[in-house]
Amino acid sequence: MKKVIFFGIIGIALLVTGCNNNTYSNLRKQEDKLIANYISRNGLQIVYDEPTEDHVWGEKEYYKVSGVDNFYYHQIEKGDTSQTIVANDLIVVRYKKFGLTEHADTLSYWSTLDQAYPVEFHYLNYSECDAVGWHLAIKQMKYADSQCEIICPSKLGFETDNSSVTPYVYILKIKVKQ
């Protein structure tokens, strides 16, 4: 009797998991579509050549960072060009984060833009900030007091974003703490 119950439970579990299309691979494909739809419905212009230092950014112009899948960068404010960011600089960040689902891009999930700079980490120290996309953005920002917007797939966001396969847009405003 115990064997019948055991194999019955195993059979039901296999049936339930076999019907689930939410494999990690399928979730990643859905994420790619969400990012493409967000770009399309917001009329964003994607450029593939890295902008020059003196490039004037269009309001809807985003650079597709080469070598990185689905990561897009838009410079809002250039910052203090006399203070170049280097490895191990202490970065302080205010940010706004929102999802890319069909209607969620109008709702803020998290915002610290109206607060003091609450997030601190050393640039390129991934144990302090596991959001690889933030480090990639800072590499593009280059200078203290700069601001950008990034479209970030889950694998480049925080660990919790990766486990839920949720892409986000981040608006980052940074300073270098002396």
Q: Where exactly are the structural domains of the chain?
A: 2-177
Residue 144 has pLDDT above 90, yes or no: yes
Residue 115 has pLDDT above 80, yes or no: no
Higher pLDDT, 25 or 21: 25
Q: What is the pLDDT of residue 141?
A: 96
Query: Which of 17-26, 84-93, 122-131 has the least mean pLDDT?
Result: 17-26
Q: Are 82 and 109 in contact (CB under 8 A)?
A: no
Amino acid sitting at position 38:
Y
CATH for 2-177 (1.10.10.60, 3.10.50.40, 3.30.310.10, 3.90.190.20): 3.10.50.40
Distance CA 147, CA 178 (A): 18
Q: What are phi and psi of 31, to 5 degrees?
A: -60, -45
Average confidence (pLDDT) over 131-150: 96
Distance CA 155, CA 69 (A): 10
**Whole-model pTM?**
0.82
